[in-house]
Structures are given as C-alpha cells and as structure tokens.
Amino acid sequence: MSCRNVLLTGCSSGIGLALAVRLAKDELKRFRVIATMRNLDKREALEKQAGPALDKTLEIRQMDVTSEESIRCCVEGIPQRRVDVLVNNAGLGMIGPVESQSVAAMKGLFDTNFFGLVRLVREIFPDMKRQRRGHIVVMSSVLGLQGLIFNDIYSASKFAVEGFCESLALQALKFGVNISLIEPGPVVTEFEKKLYEEAACMDLSAVDQETLDIFQGFYMAYSKEVFTVLGQSPDEVAEHTAKVIMAEKPPFRYQTNSLYTPMTTLKHADPTGNLPLNAFHQMIFQHDRLFKASLSLLKMLQWRKRRDVSYNKSP
C-alpha cells in the first residue's frame, strides 16, 4: 500500500506529539504525518523529537479545531485534500464539583472535545466517502464508558464523542470507512499535571463543606496515587494507537489499559446500571480500606506487567 496521509490534531505535547513522532519514524515509511496544533509557537518540542523526519515524513501545520475556517484552510493545503487517516486528539480536561465550574467553561470544553471532532468529520468524512476508504481515529477515554466522580463535564463530553462515533460508524461502514475509538485511562502528561495543580487552587466557595471534604480529602488526595498506579505514558498510548491504525481490520473500540477492563465489564453486566454504581459508591464512601487495598493490588499487577515486558525485550 502507498504512503498514507495522516492528519493529526493536538500535537504540541502529550499523546498527539508522541503519536506524530511514532508514525513519522515508522521504519517502513508507511505514513506522511500532517501534525497540527492551535499555537505554532509551541512546535519546538515536536520539532526536536521529530529530528530528521521533520519536513520529510512529518510536517507541522496550524489548526484550531474550534474554527471551521482554520480546519478548512489546513485541509485545503493538503494535495488533493487526501486524508487517509484522521486522528482526532485535541482535547481539554475539567475536574471538580460541578457547582464550582462555570457554564462558559463547560461550553468551551465541549467546543473542543465534542464539536471539534464534529467539525473535522464534517470537513473530511465526505471526501472519505467519495474515495470509499479512510480511517477516523478518535482519542476518547474510559470515562466515555463509565463516569467518574468529579469528572462530570469531561466525562459527559466523552460520552457525547462515543455516541456520535457509534452512530456515525454505521454509515461509515457502508462507504468502506473505519472508525476507531481509543479509550485510555489516566495518562501521565504535563497537561494532566497542570490540570490537577489548577484544581488544587480553584474557587470552591460555592461548594458545601461535605462535598468539599470529599473532593479535597478523597479525590485530590488519591488522584496522584491513581495516576502513579494506573497511569500510562503518552508513548504507551501512542504505540497502542499506531497498532490500531496499522491493523488490517481496525477495531471500533480499543482500551489501551487492560486494568480498566473489569470496570467497563461491570457496567455491561447489569442493564439497570445499579451494579457498577453501587460498587463504586461503596468502594469510595464505605470501604476506604478496600479502595487502598485495590490500588495496592493494581500497583503490583502493573509492576509485574512492566517487568514481564522488560524481560521479553531482553536479548
């Protein structure tokens, strides 16, 4: 197969940067990567990691997914507008009690996380349908399958993404276009670090004391440990995503972290939704020691998994 054009959003850091570099440095040179970001002043990190691939198998362009004009300008600059693989990665995060967050901020998050995807699909999907081929890869989250306390708005945006893609996939198959949802759990990036730093000093004056105690005393207290135990690196998620892009028959859903599989399985085991809801409620509010023990067990499993991978890579 000839070299495929990959249009990738959100490439200034994190998963987007790692995936752009991973594809651009593909040993078989199967990809030509158009790596985009809203602010080109932040291109230095990508340029440095791209190395000799820069301006050969990787080019950097400006794109703001909240602007239809910006998206169209970028796509029109691609020869014959040919996008074989679209990777929607640009996104924002939001954590905290819902009463502490402004509706304007919520709308801003949805404008990027959900409507940014919709704008890209509206621009590129018709071309893919005419070509009767293409692959739309969407960076979703396990929080698009299972809600998490104090991630209400972020989770809602990912649920919207999942529903949109699940509906669109039915039409896409008719035209030979694949859609894949990538669903990581926590990913250790500077973006996530900044998000939690901002949450630690956010205005919580509208929040009642009991909720405040839960947010600060439980959620914020354990979030760092959860990221340490369950978190993946951007390179890990990028490698999983690259495998989906290169798959002969790409899956519709792909979870990058197998430690989250029991959580999503629990949800589908009970059509009423009570089983996972009650399980998480008890773990958080009634069985604090069980939660700690579960983290310790997961930490051990993660350590063994990484050790086994390390052994397998040894000569």
Active site residue 154: yes
Over residues 256-308, the pLDDT tens digits come to: 998 778 777 888 888 888 887 887 787 777 656 655 555 555 555 555 555 55
pLDDT over 70 (residue 36): yes
Mark the binding-site residues for substrate, compressed into ranges.
141
What are the binding residues for NADP(+)?
10-38, 64, 158
pLDDT of residue 290: 52
Percent of the chain exceeding pLDDT 90 equals 70
By C-alpha distance, which of 116, 310, 143 is closest to 226? 143
Q: Per the residue annotation, which of 154, 219, 254, 260 is the catalytic one?
A: 154
Query: What average pLDDT does range 86-102 have in this prediction?
Result: 96
The pLDDT, as a whole number, for residue 208 is 96
Cα separations in angstroms, 261 against 46, 205, 241, 244: 32, 37, 17, 18
| CA pair distance 152, 274, nearest whole angstrom | 18
Phi, psi (degrees; rounded to nearest 5) at 63: -155, 130
User: How far from the centroid of its chain's Cα atoms is residue 305's Cα?
Assistant: 22
pLDDT over threshold 50, residue 251 = yes
Instruction: Give residue 267's pLDDT.
Output: 81
Residue-level pLDDT at 93: 94
pLDDT digits (tens, 9 = 90+) for 193-217: 888 888 888 999 999 999 999 999 8
pLDDT at 302: 56
